[in-house]
Amino acid sequence: MAVYVPGLVSVIVFYVIFLLLGLWAAWKSRKVTKNSEDVLLAGRSIGMLLGIFTMTATWVEGGFINGTAEGVYSGGLVGSQAPFAYSVCLAFSGFFFARRMRQNGYATIIDPFQQKYGRYDGVLAAKSAYIAELLSYLGVIGCFIVVIPSLLVGIIATQTDWSMTTYMSGNSSVLADEDIPLVLPLVMEHLCPKAVALFGLGAVAAAVMSSVDSAVLSSSGQFSRNVYKRIIRKTASEKEQIWVLRASTIVFGVIATSVSIYVRSIYALWVLCSDIIYVILFPQLTCAIYFSSANTYGSLVAFIVGLFFRVAGGEITLGLDPIIKYPWHKVDDDGTVVQLFPHKTLSMLLSLFSLLFVSWFTNWLFDNGILSPKFDILRKHSRTKYKNKYVISTSDASDVKELGNYKINAAFTTDSF
């Protein structure tokens, strides 16, 4: 397929404008920005109106727009469930997580993990916990409104006789398989006036950039704050963290670009991202926020269990054949095994239950003196004292720190058996 030169030029110009605006904004705020948290969360000063647009723009990205059109063209409305699921997920996130995370003053989504499990963003930048929760609800409305054009584009593409357009010189009445992920730009190129196509591509470019910058900044911020500062170099200054943030932005950008080039389907990549978060991250975050008994041992086991069963279920997008063939699986004509059993939800539930059980079991072992504190190799037992045979020392020599509602005591006095 030939390169659409006017569209390419318009997108390049659009991104150059974005770059110049970013440089100008950075120059204007150079004296205002005091630390890395200000860089990540805009000083927690995002108000209601700006926050609504920010949440919607962060959620509505290339996968949301292009992926929805691709999904509708390939499988109809039934085959394009992701945009609706993503939107509903935003509301659930606001109800269960946004207020609590903002009230606790977290800067990244990793912060509750490190507070709960040890050293192992839109809503967080809001002015208050109330606004943080409300932004998630209002962002859902914006998502539902924005997804309508993509749905219509997908429907239009399925009803179009492409042989009557300039697509492939009019030699094909349907889109080639390799061009299906490009449904939206192809509709703009062949079915719209040039002016409309250029403005449409600019809008898509803006939507993509609004989410790419959020995703890359989030990843870079988590690395600089939660990995570099708290694990690699604990004495790092704020200026050093900001430079690490900038460098990691480039690295994560290159990695993301490489992944997007390897995976051919935009919709499949979009679904895969939420799939991984659902299976691996969701149980961990839920327990970190809501279950005081959760500890690092349970978290570690849950991560391994969730990852194993998810990979064992196979992934067509990455070319991974299933190790475990669940009930109701079928084999396509090309030999691909399709799992009809909800193995992703099963993987998530196994991860959640293993986290809760292992946390309870290890707490029980330490609390009842069955295991000595010296076996607490990760030093992440969740309780503040050991019962029966072990008593925590309260002398001045003990290093007692308080983090929110959690107490960590680093020194133990034990009785012999």
Residue 287 in domain: no
pTM for the whole structure: 0.66
- Quick check: 391 pLDDT over 70? no
CB 298 within 8 A of CB 323: no
Tokens of 408: 């960590």
Q: Return contacts of 308-315, CB within 8 angstroms, 24+ apart.
A: 309/343, 309/346, 309/347, 309/350, 309/351, 310/275, 310/276, 310/279, 310/280, 310/343, 310/344, 310/347, 313/339, 313/343, 313/344, 313/347, 314/339, 315/272
Domain residue limits at 273: 1-281
CB 313 within 8 A of CB 344: yes
108 three-class SS: coil
- Quick check: 62 pLDDT over 90? no
Residue 318 in domain: no
**Confidence (pLDDT) at 385:** 46
**Confidence (pLDDT) at 254:** 86
Give the pLDDT band of residue 107 (cuts 50, 70, 90): low
pLDDT one-digit tens code per residue, 180-227: 888 888 888 888 888 888 888 777 777 777 677 777 777 787 788 777
pLDDT one-digit tens code per residue, 70-92: 888 888 887 778 788 877 887 77
**Confidence (pLDDT) at 20:** 86
Q: Which residue has the higher pLDDT, 247 or 90?
A: 247
CB 79 within 8 A of CB 72: yes
Residue 91 in domain: yes
Q: Which residues of 166-202 are buried (b: 16+ CB within 10 A; e: fewer)?
A: ebeeeeeeebeeebbbbbbbbbbbbbeeeeebbebbb
Per the prediction, the chain carries an average pLDDT of 75
Looking at the DSSP bridge assignments, the partners of residue 337 are 331
**Confidence (pLDDT) at 18:** 78
- For residues 287-294, average pLDDT: 84
- For residues 37-43, average pLDDT: 59
Residue 331 in domain: no
Distance CA 115, CA 284 (A): 12
- Quick check: 387 pLDDT over 90? no
113 three-class SS: helix
- Quick check: 317 pLDDT over 70? yes
Residue 73 in domain: yes
Give the pLDDT band of residue 108 (cuts 50, 70, 90): low
- Could you give the percent of the chain with pLDDT greater than 90? 6
**Alpha helix locations (H) across 180-281?**
183-191, 194-222, 238-262, 266-276
**Confidence (pLDDT) at 176:** 86
Residue 205 in domain: yes
Residue 162 in domain: yes
Tokens of 73: 């063209």
Looking at the DSSP bridge assignments, the partners of residue 390 are 414
Residue 343 in domain: no
Calculate the CA 67 to chain-centre distance. 17
**C-alpha distance from residue 243 to each of 110, 166, 218, 228, 375 (Å):** 20, 49, 15, 11, 39
Q: Which residues contact 122 (CB under 8 A, 6 or more apart)?
A: 46, 51, 54, 55, 58, 135, 214
Total domains in the fold of the chain: 1
Give the pLDDT band of residue 294 (cuts 50, 70, 90): confident
